[in-house]
Chains A and B, each alone.
Chain A
């Protein structure tokens, strides 16, 4: 899942990803995650979405600001009082970097929305 916040002039001020995936070791031993059914046996960890369960993720995103001095006083100037936050949930059947993959082949977009947030 990708979460990206942009100001109205297109500057990216926040960008993060959460990965939900089973993580398997080779031959059911050790602590290294591997790819390939011929290597994998067992799980080291499993952060996938589980049936009947809800995962709640909260992201705290700071609006861009700058502290300046005006008439001898420190003043906080909010550079952008509005941001668009886009949430995308991707399904990557073979893992990898989805920014390099092909939509509909290496990666499938399960969900996307953009929320506008603002402060006064």
Chain B
């Protein structure tokens, strides 16, 4: 009996702490685990801005995102990725869905394979027009906790892991929430690298099957900065436009106008190609100047 107790104790010590973390077993459970409704009480402006953003519905998007997740499952994971081991939705594991969910739902790390399967099915059904499936997907998204906790620290051997019940921002102190009681300073909250974690460098080489979605951060680093650019993502997409946590991009006319300056000049003349062959010709010159911090368009 004593030996058995020692064995059990040894096993408990040997197991990583993460093994004890409770994982969500359904979309509803994961939504509950990452519930941010209490944020609205003290931060109504930020909450309402965020609610209207694509971040809030990051599994559905325009709804092009939902259709892309659906085709990734149907045409990629279950068909073209012949070594994925997935023939059916029930074979899907979290690691397969990371192709999309690494960025579109980082909280998937706290969910079981069943949730990955539920999301895969809902994306397929939703893309086929099932409104209930779409509603289900809209329960999850890139919310306050993703940027202000999960993704608030990049260099974890330098800065440590994000603390579970802390809200990361630009200050330290107490936070008036019954669950998230601490306010911690994120070293990158106002830096482009925060956004760069998901807005892409190119192929995601960290995945077993690298996918390529956004490439904006790569363009920011290798084209915008060398061109003399000095603004951060947050400056253009949150501050200067005064649109805060809505963080608009191409679908916002003000953001679009600011991103590309177009000048058009036109003149006409009789062009003489050869003697007696005078051709009435208009010359239209279009100058497209990009003021954005990345390639336009991305894709």
- Cα A24 to Cα B291 in complex, Å, equals 24
- Chain B: residues with Cβ within 8 Å of the partner, total of 64
The one of B77, B224, B251, B253 in contact with A52, judged by C-beta atoms closer than 8 angstroms, is B224
Contact segment of B10-18, B114-122, B165-173, B266-274: B266-274
- Cα A41 to Cα B211 in complex, Å, equals 6
Q: What total of A-B pairs shows CB separation below 8 Å?
A: 185
The one of A3, A51, A59, A119 in contact with B223, judged by C-beta atoms closer than 8 angstroms, is A51
The one of A21, A37, A63, A104 in contact with B211, judged by C-beta atoms closer than 8 angstroms, is A37
* Cβ–Cβ contact A3 & B284, under 8 A: yes
Quick one: CB contact mask for A57-88 with B, threshold 8 Å, 1 for yes? 11111110100000000101010010101010
- Cα A45 to Cα B296 in complex, Å, equals 14
* Cβ–Cβ contact B227 & A52, under 8 A: yes
Cβ of B174 under 8 Å from chain A: no
Contact segment of B64-72, B133-141, B187-195: B64-72
Q: What residues make up the interface of B, taking CB atoms closer than 8 Å to A?
A: 62, 64, 68, 71-72, 75-77, 80-81, 99-100, 202-203, 209-213, 215, 219-220, 223-224, 227-229, 250-251, 253, 256-257, 259-260, 262, 264, 266-270, 276, 278-299
Q: What residues make up the interface of A, taking CB atoms closer than 8 Å to B?
A: 1, 3, 5, 20-22, 24, 28, 36-42, 46, 48-63, 65, 74, 76, 78, 81, 83, 85, 87, 89, 91-95, 104-105, 108, 110-111, 113, 115, 117-119
